[in-house]
Structure formats: structure tokens, C-alpha cells
Structure 1
Amino acid sequence: MKTSKLKTFPRSCLRGTAILLFSLFTLAALLWLYQDLESGETDLNLDRSQSFVLTNVNVITMNDQQVLPDHAIVVRDGVITELSPMAQVTADDLSIIDGKQAYVMPGLIDAHVHVLDRSYAKSALAAGVTTVRNMGGFPYHLKWRDELEKGEWFGSRMVVSSPIFNSLEQGDPLAHFRVNDPELARQAVRDYIAEGYDFIKVYEGLHAETYSAILAEANTLGVMVAGHPSYDLMHTKLEEHGALRTFEHSEEIYDGFLAQTFNDTKAEAAAQFFVDHDVALVPTLAVNRELTRLSNEKYEYLKQTDQAAITPFARFIYEQTSFKRWLNASPELAAYNLEVDAYLHHLTQRMHERGVTLVLGSDAGALTGLPGPATIDEIELMVAAGIPTHAALAAATINAAHSVDMDQQLGRIAVGFQADLVVLKENPVSTVQILRDPLMVIQQGRVFNGKDLNQLRDEAHQHSNWLLSVARHLNYLLFG
């Protein structure tokens, strides 16, 4: 009589396998519960009035280049209800904040960041960045966004992209949603929007048919798509990229439109494409300057960065990947990076000259830069590239607000807009460096004074532990 394989397989092995599988399942469940139940916190007082009158200030509305001197801003329930010369304002029922002739501009918006921890959102807010667009979302970003909306802790308002769409061949299996099937891509667009992601992020490795399907499905749903071009689609149907809300990185113009050549004639054609299709460009000069300095100055540059503000889990990953790549760059590659970096500045200035809409994005979180400080770096680099300061500030306010579909709420100082404001000692249009030292930051009417901002900076150095960071990402890999 034949004996079944099941009976001949040692029972001890079966028990061992069952125990292992049960242990793995239990560990996964515990990790899921751990990351699901934990929440953000702050030592700042959460109970803050959202109504006041800010008097004796010079207002940079961003509607034009004029400064309104000796004005007052009336805020009720987080919304600007009056903007008038001081003598005309009557709001006796509200507390008064004397601006002492400071300058007030709209809160900054960084439209390309990677928020790797709650600490990053705190870093951004402490620098006057009241809103960030997170490019490369995971389930925990949805959680953080909702916590911020409920006022459970303080940080930049978050607009969250889907996980990054990329091809099976080129996508990162640990971070990207990899897809080659157009119908699967369409379904993923529907699923991600249903899960609460605000928009779709695309990457250059996508095949033409898949990229087209993503754009078409997003258009059907009325949601925006932002990201890299598909190099495959650029060769056949370039015009389809006109559906992008924003085109990310001046480097992608150099790589895609210019085929990695310093070709100003092709740059003119690229600029015309952006203007004709009303696609905004997010230059992200700051991150390219980072890799250029890393590859040229090596550890001397790394010593100058605030590595303690990088979450330990991310720092470990970067030390094994991008840090190692650029720190070990050959002299030839380092010299090439210098050439490219200079050309990207020239290219960005040329785009501005030709009427391309610029949106500020720093790509903070991709290397050593942090949301907030890197945002100011990006503004200064744009100015250094020859872009007028007011235009650079418009990229970080009015233009960026449009990139997050909030241009009727954010990006300007106007009646009916949310009271997201930065209060500065000097006019940033004439002294752009003053952005690094805000006197006050106001987000949705909540006032953060100098002491509060210092507390936020301290909390920006308090990161989630390794286990929690890993658990969050495992949740995405297993259940996302």
C-alpha cells in the first residue's frame, strides 16, 4: 500500500513550519497594530485661538509687487476677514498683535518634498512653510495628514500623492507601485484616489501605454497628475504630457527634452511645450546642488549638514545608497555634476524668461535637505540663477497653491483666504535671506511666536524609532 507524502513528512517539521508561519503572522499583526495605534504629539499648547487682529504691518499680498504699508489683518476662525489701513479697522472684540512694522507675506508652499517622519512636517512649519506637497505617498502619510487637520500636533499642512507609479523593470520594489498593464494601472488610480490620496505621482520608467492610461483615468476622475515624463511616451506622443499639472525637475528637461546635451535650441522647444500646454515646472535646484556638493566636497560638505535632523532609518538607507554613490563619485563624475548643475540653473532661468510657470519644490527628504530649510535654499538658488525675487516668492505662494488645487484658499493675503502667514523683520523681496529667521509663523490663524518656533525646531530633531519606521513601511509592503 502506498504511503501519502503527508504521512511520510516528519510531523516535527510540520509543527515547526506552522509555528513559524503563526509567529510571522502574529509579528505582522502586532507591527500593524503598533503603527496604526501610535499618534503624533507635541509639547506645544494645542489650544490656540484662531481669531485676532495683526496690526502695524507692511503687507506683501503677492497679488502684485506692491507693499501695503501700515495695514492691519483681521482673522476670524482662521480666515482673513479684513485687510485694511490701520485707521479703518474696527475689531474691538478681538485680541491685538502688534506687528511693529514687520513685513507679512503668505505662508510658503513647498510642492515637492518627501516627508519621512512627522518631524519633517515640524521642520517645515518652523521655517514658515505652512503647506507641503508630499511626492511619493504611503498609508502613514494619509494618517499624518488627517492628524494635522484635526489639530492633534503641529506641522505643515500635507497634500499627499499616491505611491509612485513606475514600470516593473525600473521601479523600486520597496517604494514604487510597479505596473506595466494599462488596465491594472487604471484600476490602481481609482483605488488610490478612493483610499484618500490627493493626486497621482508618475515616474519616467513607465511604458507609453501605461502612462497614457494613468493620465486618461485621472482625467476621468478629475484628479491631478504630477511627476516625471515617460521617456517612452516622449518619443511617440509628447503632447500627452500636457495633462500633467506639474513637470518635476529641471533635470528631467535636460534628460528628456535635451537628451543630456547643453542644447538651448531644444530648451526653447521645451519651454514652448510648457507654455502651450500650461504645464508648470518644479525645478528642484536644491537637491541637484546637494548631490553636486556631495560628489565634489565629499565629507566636508556632509559635515555641514544637519544630519541629526534626518530620521535615523532614512539616514541608514541613504548611507548605503545615495550618500555612498555621491561620496564615492570619481573626479570625472564630480566635474560633470558641476557642469550639469550650472546648466540646470541656466535652464531654469531660461524657462522663466520664456513664460513658463515655476512652482517651488526643493525635493527635501531625498538627500540631506530637510523640508523648511531646503525650501529657503531653493528660493535662494532660484534668485541666484537670475529669477527675480518676487517671481521666486510667487513660485512658493501663488503658483504653488495652484499646484495643490488650493489657489482660492492659499498663496495670497486676501479676504476669504486662510490665514497662513509669515511675519518677517525685513522685506524678503529686497532681503531674501530674512526668510531664514521668521518672527512669527501663522497657520490657519494659529500663531507661532519665536519661542514656539524654537520648540518646533527641537521637535524636528525628535524622530520615530527604528521599529516604528520599519513597521510603517512593512504595513505598506504587506497590506498597501
Structure 2
Amino acid sequence: MKISILFITLCLSAIASYPLPAYATSAEKNANASLYIDNIHIVDVTTGKVLKNRQLKIRKGKIIAINAAQTPITDESHEYQDGKGHYAMPGLIDMHAHAYDTAAFVIALSHGATHLRLMNGVQEHLLWRNELENGSRIGSTITVSSPIISGFTDAHMHYSAQTPADAITAVTTAKQLGYDLIKAYGNLTAEVLRALLREAKKQSIPVAKHGPHPVAHMDWNELKGLQSLEHAEDIYQGPLNYQADLKALDETITTLKALNTPVTPTLNIYWQLTQISDQKQAFIDTLPEGYISPLIELQEKHNQLKRWINSPLEMALHNKKTLAFLQEITLQLYRANITLLVGSDSGVLLSPHGLATHKEMELMHQAGLPILAVLRAATINPAKALGKESQLGKIAVGYNADLILSEHNPLDSLATLKNPAWVVKQGRIFSNAELKTLRQHAIDERSLWQEMRILLNAGTAASVGTGMSAGVSTGICADK
């Protein structure tokens, strides 16, 4: 999302003092005690089979055994949860999110999104990443991209790379600071993007590129080996030149398939703008309260939302047709066996954390993907893309105990996952009631002062020696 320094500064006079949020710490428990979740059915997202009547044994955040239900428990110290015939599957991984306050991670977790890939990182994200991983903060764990490396010269929270040397410096800085991946924007020149990719390979840091196509004067095969390519919308806007041309789409998909690089469609964000352009304020009024930071909400209402709220009926009709074609693109990507990743672009255009992940899955299913394919795109596919396929994305011995337990079989209906009966994160189990309480507490304790400081400092701290712009960005959804 585009953050104006002037806008944030003006907000200072309108916001009262908020205390910094307290750490959400786990209850005091014996760290060596095992958690048993009994009488559950395990959904294998690899095969699509359901393992009936099982018992999970979890210790220190890992699954250490999968037994028959009601296997006798011999541990003297343990925690027991009767799963009551619920269905267990791996936690969801959202591969495209934007968040600048810690409430977002609790909100996402409360809807079963146990891991997020943040796609415009700031240094506070790295601190939060460590706290979430070591359990001193409750919420979805996170993978953090660098600040966007782009060709803009006036975009706040971007590394501005006008030359190959700028790109090399940006990649080197991001690696040294500890970011997990590089996010490269689609308006870099071919010379600059090549330098970025060479340096990222040298530094052993993966790259995700905005737009599933090369920049001008660059070959498609130069995009091999990326962590992912973002936005089906950019296939429509780029190679297809805004035309619903099925022949050109087929040619593009054939070329994409040869790259063997995952694609994140992010249908949800186009659905969001379509609803705003069609229903205007009536749609905005349906969004859940508190899921987006009030500071970002205020910024969005004074910036990006205006275009869609004020758009004519013709624009709404155009958006509906375009969304349908983006779903067709997604279906054709699936039919071509191109790996797809669930990524919601939550946090942009008031798209609510957690719920947006489920809307992305719903839109992919509506596009024609089987439910199992959607579940894979939200679990094992992103785990592999992140290089975490031995830790995340499966319910198996040795894997992280990041799980969703739902009342009904998610292979029959994705909707059952939206409001989970339990979520297990790093071996700690949260009931539906506990998740709601945690979510509300995170919303109530949100610190706008902290978020304002983060957004202001993000431009200033990295601008020295990196070419990062601290100006006001332009365009619509320029950081998706």
C-alpha cells in the first residue's frame, strides 16, 4: 500500500496516545509435556485421502507420532484434547500479505492462516518474525521480503534501483539486514533486473517478481529459478495487453510452464476492488471492524478507495468481466500444471487479514480448480516454494504442529475452514473461543503510534546508501 509521509504527519494531530502493545505470551506450561489430540480424521493434502480415527502426539512444537485413536497415553505429564471427530489439516500459508502492525498476525491465525509471506518488509518485521518463531509473540509466523526494489524514484518504502549498481546495493543491503527474499517490481529495466537476479543468486537469497512476465528487452527464460511470480492480473495487463485473448493466453502459459516457477494469482484483491466499484460504501460497510489498522484504513480511504468508490457503472461492469477472465487465466495455469500459490494481498484496499486468505481459496475454486488443488496451493505448494517442505504443509511426523481442526471435511467444503474449531500453532492448541478472544485483544491493544513510527522510519532508515525513496508513491495498488 502507498503511504504518504505528509498524510501520516497530518494524522499526528488526530490520534490520541496509545500504549505499545504488550507481548502475547503463552501460559506457563511444562515445556516437556506432550499434547495429545485424539479422535480426529487427518486430511492428507498430498493424496486427497482422509486418515480416519487418529491420535496426534505433539511435543515442543513438532508432531512426534500419529497413532490410532484412543491409543493409551503413558506420559505422566501431558495435555489432552478430544478432537470429537473433527478433521485436521495443515495450517494455511498465505503467500502475499501486507501488514504493519502485530494484530494482523493474530487475526490471520484466528482464521487458520498459520504462516504469511509479507511482501513489502520493514525492519520491525524481522524482530516480529523472531518473536513469532520463538513463541514470545502469538500469531502467524512470517516470511519477510525486502522492501520492494523498483524503478520508481518517488515511492515511499521502495528501494529505488535506477542502475545495476543500485540493484546490487539493494540486494546486498536486504541480505545483510536479514530479509528472507527479494521482491522485485515490474518496472525495473532489463539491465537492472538482470543485475538484481545475478546478485540475488550470488547472495543465495530468493526472488519474487511482481508480474508473471519479463520486462521489456528481457527473455522469459531469464525468470527461471524465482521463488514465485505474482498476480494473474499482470498477465492480462502485460503479455495480453488488456485483451481477453485466449490464443495469446495459451502461448503465454506455454512459455510460463517452461520456467517451472510458481505463480500467485491474487484474485482476491481484484475481487475486492470489483466489489468496491460495484457496491461502493455499502460493500465497505460489510467489512469486519478492526481487521485493518485504523491508520491504514484512513490512508486507503483518502487514496486508493476513491478511484473505485467514484468509478462509474461502466467501470464496475468492466471489473466484473476482467475478474472472470483472471479466474480463467488461473484455471488455465492449473490445467497446464503450473504450481499455484494462495496469496490474498490482504491489507491492501481494506482486504481483511485471514478472511482474505479464504476468499482467495474460494475464488480459485469458483474458477474451476478442484478443492484438493486449492488446499495444495495453500499448504504444500507454498511450503515447497519457501524451502520449508520438510517443516510445513503436511501433517506428518517431524513436521511443525501448525494445524487447523474443522467440524466438517474441507475436501467437501472449503467454507468449514473459515471459522476453525481449533487452531494449533507451534504445538499450542487454541479453541475457537480462545481465538476470538485473542483476536479482539489484539485489535483493542493495537498501537497506532508504533505503526506510524514504523511507516515513517521505513523510508528514512533504509534510504541512506541504498537509494530507497522516501517520497510519495503514485498509481493504484503499486505495491501488490
Q: TM-score range by the shorter chain?
A: 0.7 to 0.9
Q: Closer, same or farther in 2 for the Cα pair 1:76/1:187, shift >3 Å?
A: same
Larger Cα Rg: Structure 1 or Structure 2? 1
Residue of structure 1 equivalent to 2:369: 387
Q: Which runs of 5+ in 1 are unaligned?
A: 1-26, 28-36
CA contact (8 A) 2:291 2:353 kept: no
In structure 2, C-alpha distance between the alignment counterparts of 1:122 and 1:291, rounded to whole Å? 25
Residue of structure 1 equivalent to 2:397: 415
Q: Closer, same or farther in 2 for the Cα pair 1:177/1:89, shift >3 Å?
A: farther
In terms of fraction of residues, the more helix-rich structure is 1
Measured against aligned partners, the alpha-carbon deviations of 1:346-394 in whole angstroms (never above 9, x if no partner) come to 1101110111111100000011212211111111111111110011011
Match of 1:461, SS? helix
Q: Does 1:350 align with 2:332?
A: yes
What is the 5 A alignment of 1:317-466? 317-462=299-444, 464-466=446-448
Instruction: Give the TM-score normalised by structure 2.
Output: 0.88
CA contact (8 A) 1:207 1:230 kept: no
In structure 1, C-alpha distance between the alignment counterparts of 2:205 and 2:245, rounded to whole Å? 34
Root mean square deviation, CA, Å: 2.2
CA contact (8 A) 2:111 2:418 kept: yes
Residue of structure 2 equivalent to 1:108: 92
Match of 2:63, SS? strand
- Count, aligned residues: 444
In structure 1, C-alpha distance between the alignment counterparts of 2:455 and 2:301, rounded to whole Å? 18
CA contact (8 A) 2:213 2:235 kept: no
Of the three residues 32, 39, 56, the one matched with 1:56 is 39
Measured against aligned partners, the alpha-carbon deviations of 1:43-65 in whole angstroms (never above 9, x if no partner) come to 86365757211111100122211
Q: Does 1:66 align with 2:49?
A: yes
Q: Quick check: 389-398 or 151-160, which moved more?
A: 151-160
Residue of structure 2 equivalent to 1:22: none
Q: Closer, same or farther in 2 for the Cα pair 1:80/1:349, shift >3 Å?
A: same
What is the 5 A alignment of 1:220-369? 220-229=202-211, 233-369=215-351
The runs of 4+ residues in structure 1 deviating greater than 6 Å are none
Residue of structure 2 equivalent to 1:81: 64
CA contact (8 A) 1:364 1:375 kept: yes
Residue of structure 2 equivalent to 1:162: 146
CA contact (8 A) 1:52 1:76 kept: yes
In structure 2, C-alpha distance between the alignment counterparts of 1:476 and 1:418, rounded to whole Å? 32
Measured against aligned partners, the alpha-carbon deviations of 1:284-307 in whole angstroms (never above 9, x if no partner) come to 111100001101111111111124
Measured against aligned partners, the alpha-carbon deviations of 1:36-94 in whole angstroms (never above 9, x if no partner) come to x9564238636575721111110012221110001111112111111132366755343
Residue of structure 1 equivalent to 2:4: none
Q: Closer, same or farther in 2 for the Cα pair 1:404/1:328, shift >3 Å?
A: same
Q: Which runs of 5+ in 2 are unaligned?
A: 1-8, 10-18, 463-480
Q: Closer, same or farther in 2 for the Cα pair 1:211/1:230, shift >3 Å?
A: farther
Instruction: Give the TM-score normalised by structure 1.
Output: 0.88
Comparing both chains, which one has the higher relative contact order based on Cα–Cα distances under 8 Å and sequence gaps of 6 or more? Answer: 2
What's the offset of the Cα at 1:219? 1.1
CA contact (8 A) 2:43 2:87 kept: yes
Residue of structure 1 equivalent to 2:5: none
What's the offset of the Cα at 1:117? 1.0
Q: Closer, same or farther in 2 for the Cα pair 1:114/1:66, shift >3 Å?
A: same
Measured against aligned partners, the alpha-carbon deviations of 1:432-463 in whole angstroms (never above 9, x if no partner) come to 11112211100110111122111122134236
What's the offset of the Cα at 1:270? 2.4
- AA aligned to 2:142 is M
Residue of structure 2 equivalent to 1:118: 102
- AA aligned to 2:148 is I
Residue of structure 2 equivalent to 1:3: none
State percent identity of aligned pairs: 33
- AA aligned to 1:315 is E
